[in-house]
């Protein structure tokens, strides 16, 4: 018995030492899952606190190496990359990007919204107001790559990832969208793949690595999901996504789960508009070949004209119209896709779609055979990932808030962080129950990180590290 325990304990120490770390947005391949523990149920400034560290503003998430935590922030007009000691939270260094450009953005976005990525030693950070920077573990600048200015109506939001030994960054924007691969050792651009049919999006890619073959980078965008090889070739595409995509996809085996939401994409809101030639013939009264706000019939207007006028000249042209027209028939949904296809897989690889109570921003999490969704208002839906059928839907009575951070899971629990700073802990089960609601007293937009039985949560003013300290 004792011997069995010793072996089990030794194995558990080994497991802890080799646990995969949280190195990118939403942790291991963007799943939001680090199934290790014990993780705390109750926590706060007075409870199960390992350490806390004050931080400047920012909505990016912490990423971890064995010894360090990297975050981005902004303060006094500087775009900052910050390193903390993982064990104590002590700030080790902070570095400012060489310059800062102020870009237009949505009120919920932030100059430091994209999450950095680490290869375990170095950090790679992206700021819409500058571009990419890389520092080593001691804070020495390795390289910089200025990018932009960007034409993302709501500001940049996608985070860089590492895939196939390359740094990948998706820059979806209203004009000249593209995906980039960069040599992480020196910042040189390896390839730049134009994405002319995509407008502003905020989703961070994930990687599908099949049992055999090369990795495929999965990139959700407006109306379409695309799989790219690590040398930038399109491998597959699937249509039927919503207009703007914000949440990240989840790969599980040979399946991918994704939820996409945009204003006006509820199934009942569908409006079939005519094609460009008919619209121009009927409404272009001044004959300039474009349609102005005063020319177009009022009930066909987009709720936000400037967002659809991609070159901001005040009028819609054929390309603007095509995109806007597609928006009015696009529908919000959570979907499951079978991976491994090539070419257009829209008709062959979509497994199911679910269309009620789709999260606006928060990504889904798939944990122990259940898919979890959380929508603003604290509406939680659990789905059977095989069939897409609802297991339970209900409201988090203690947190009827906005949910912009994505849920994370581990140790039999699912953590959902609200914009009001209430962290709801669910018992991981299709028929979920609330184990606790922990109020941190200030807003949370950053997706928490989990590693080695610790929970890292960024609020408006600090980073908390919580553990299961109460025995």
**Interface residue list for Ca ion (CB under 5 A):** 284, 286, 288, 290, 309, 311, 313
Q: Which is nearer to Ca ion, 111 or 290 (CB)?
A: 290
Closest contact distance (angstroms) between CB of 261 and Ca ion is 25
Closest contact distance (angstroms) between CB of 104 and Ca ion is 16
Closest contact distance (angstroms) between CB of 271 and Ca ion is 21
Closest contact distance (angstroms) between CB of 308 and Ca ion is 8
Q: Which is nearer to Ca ion, 272 or 281 (CB)?
A: 281
SS3 category, 381: strand
Q: Which is nearer to Ca ion, 193 or 328 (CB)?
A: 328
Q: Which is nearer to Ca ion, 93 or 283 (CB)?
A: 283
Q: Which is nearer to Ca ion, 313 or 342 (CB)?
A: 313
CA dihedral 30, 243, 174, 221 (to 10 degrees): 30
Q: Which helix (H) or strand (E) is 380 found in, with range?
A: strand 379-383
β-pairing, 379-383 with 390-395?
Answer: antiparallel
Q: Which is nearer to Ca ion, 191 or 300 (CB)?
A: 300
Q: SS3 string of 38-79?
A: CCCCCCECCECEEEEEECCECCCCCEECCCEEEEEEEECCEE
Buried/exposed code over 366-396 (b: 16+ C-beta within 10 A; e: otherwise): bbeebbbbbbbebbbbbbebeebeebeeeeb
Q: Which is nearer to Ca ion, 311 or 389 (CB)?
A: 311
Closest contact distance (angstroms) between CB of 292 and Ca ion is 5
Q: Do the beta carbons of residue 32 and residue 409 sit within 8 Å? A: yes
Closest contact distance (angstroms) between CB of 285 and Ca ion is 6
Q: Where are the alpha helices (DSSP H) in 354-423?
A: none
Distances in Å between the Cα of 310 and the Cα atoms of 199, 321, 363, 399 are 9, 10, 27, 37
- Write the DSSP string, 71-116: EEEEETTEEEEEEEETTT--EEEEEE-S--------TT--TT-SPP
Q: Which is nearer to Ca ion, 185 or 311 (CB)?
A: 311
The CB density around residue 448, as the number of other CB atoms within 10 Å, is: 26
Closest contact distance (angstroms) between CB of 202 and Ca ion is 22
CA–CA gap between residue 259 and residue 279 (Å, rounded): 32
Closest contact distance (angstroms) between CB of 246 and Ca ion is 24
Q: How far is CA 409 from the centre of its chain?
A: 16
Full strand arrangement of the beta sheet holding 49-54? 49-54, 462-467, 454-458, 449-451
Closest contact distance (angstroms) between CB of 151 and Ca ion is 12
Closest contact distance (angstroms) between CB of 313 and Ca ion is 5
SS3 category, 317: coil
Q: Which is nearer to Ca ion, 152 or 230 (CB)?
A: 152
Query: Of 446, 344, 457, whose CA–CA distance to 60 is shortest?
Result: 446
Q: What is the DSSP letter of 300?
A: G
Q: Which is nearer to Ca ion, 279 or 465 (CB)?
A: 279
- Let me know if 423 is exposed, middle or buried by CB neighbors in 10 A (0-12, 13-18, 19+): buried
Q: Which is nearer to Ca ion, 185 or 286 (CB)?
A: 286
Residues 6+ apart with CB under 8 A from 154: 104, 105, 106, 109, 200, 202, 244
Closest contact distance (angstroms) between CB of 181 and Ca ion is 31
Closest contact distance (angstroms) between CB of 197 and Ca ion is 16
Full strand arrangement of the beta sheet holding 216-220? 206-208, 216-220, 224-229, 234-239, 343-344
CA–CA gap between residue 276 and residue 371 (Å, rounded): 40
CA–CA gap between residue 426 and residue 409 (Å, rounded): 9
Q: Which is nearer to Ca ion, 188 or 288 (CB)?
A: 288
């Amino acid at each position: 018995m004792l011997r069995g325990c010793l072996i089990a304990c030794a194995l558990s120490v080994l497991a802890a030492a080799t646990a995969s770390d949280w190195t990118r947005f939403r942790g291991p391949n963007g799943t939001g899952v680090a199934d290790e523990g014990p993780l705390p149920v109750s926590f706060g400034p007075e409870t199960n606190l390992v350490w806390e560290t004050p931080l400047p503003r920012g909505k990016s998430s912490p990423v971890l190496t064995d010894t360090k935590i990297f975050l981005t922030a902004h303060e006094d007009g500087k775009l900052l990359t910050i390193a903390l000691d993982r064990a104590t939270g002590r700030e080790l260094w902070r570095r400012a990007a060489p310059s800062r450009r102020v870009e237009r953005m949505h009120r919920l976005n932030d100059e430091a919204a994209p999450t950095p990525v680490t290869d375990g030693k170095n950090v790679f950070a992206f700021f819409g107001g500058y571009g990419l920077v890389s520092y080593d573990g001691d804070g020495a600048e390795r390289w910089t790559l200025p990018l932009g200015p960007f034409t993302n109506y709501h500001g940049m939001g996608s985070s860089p990832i590492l895939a196939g030994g390359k740094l990948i960054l998706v820059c979806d924007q209203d004009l000249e969208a593209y995906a980039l691969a960069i040599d992480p050792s020196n910042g040189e651009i390896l390839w730049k793949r134009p994405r002319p049919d995509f407008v502003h999006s905020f989703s961070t890619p994930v990687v599908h690595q099949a049992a055999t073959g090369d990795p495929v980078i999965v990139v959700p965008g407006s109306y379409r999901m695309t799989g790219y090889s690590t040398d930038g070739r399109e491998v597959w595409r699937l249509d039927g996504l919503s207009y703007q995509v914000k949440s990240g996809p989840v790969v599980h085996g040979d399946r991918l789960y994704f939820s996409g939401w945009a204003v006006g994409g509820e199934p009942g809101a569908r409006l079939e508009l005519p094609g460009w030639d008919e619209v121009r013939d009927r409404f272009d009264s001044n004959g300039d070949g474009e349609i102005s706000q005063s020319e177009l019939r009022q009930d066909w207007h987009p709720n936000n004209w400037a967002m659809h006028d991609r070159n901001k000249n005040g009028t819609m042209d054929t390309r603007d119209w095509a995109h806007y027209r597609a928006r009015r028939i696009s529908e919000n949904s959570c979907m499951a896709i079978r991976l491994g296809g090539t070419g257009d897989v829209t008709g062959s690889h979509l497994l199911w779609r679910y269309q009620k109570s789709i999260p606006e921003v928060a990504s889904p999490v798939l944990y122990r055979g259940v898919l979890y969704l959380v929508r603003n208002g604290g509406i939680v839906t659990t789905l059977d990932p095989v069939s897409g059928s609802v297991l339970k839907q209900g409201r988090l009575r203690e947190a009827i808030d906005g949910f912009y951070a994505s849920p994370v899971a581990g140790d039999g629990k699912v953590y959902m962080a609200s914009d009001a700073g209430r962290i709801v802990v669910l018992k991981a089960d299709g028929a979920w129950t609330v184990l606790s609601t922990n109020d941190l007293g200030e807003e949370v937009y950053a997706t928490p990180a989990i590693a080695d039985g610790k929970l890292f949560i960024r609020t408006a003013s600090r980073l908390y590290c919580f553990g299961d300290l109460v025995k």
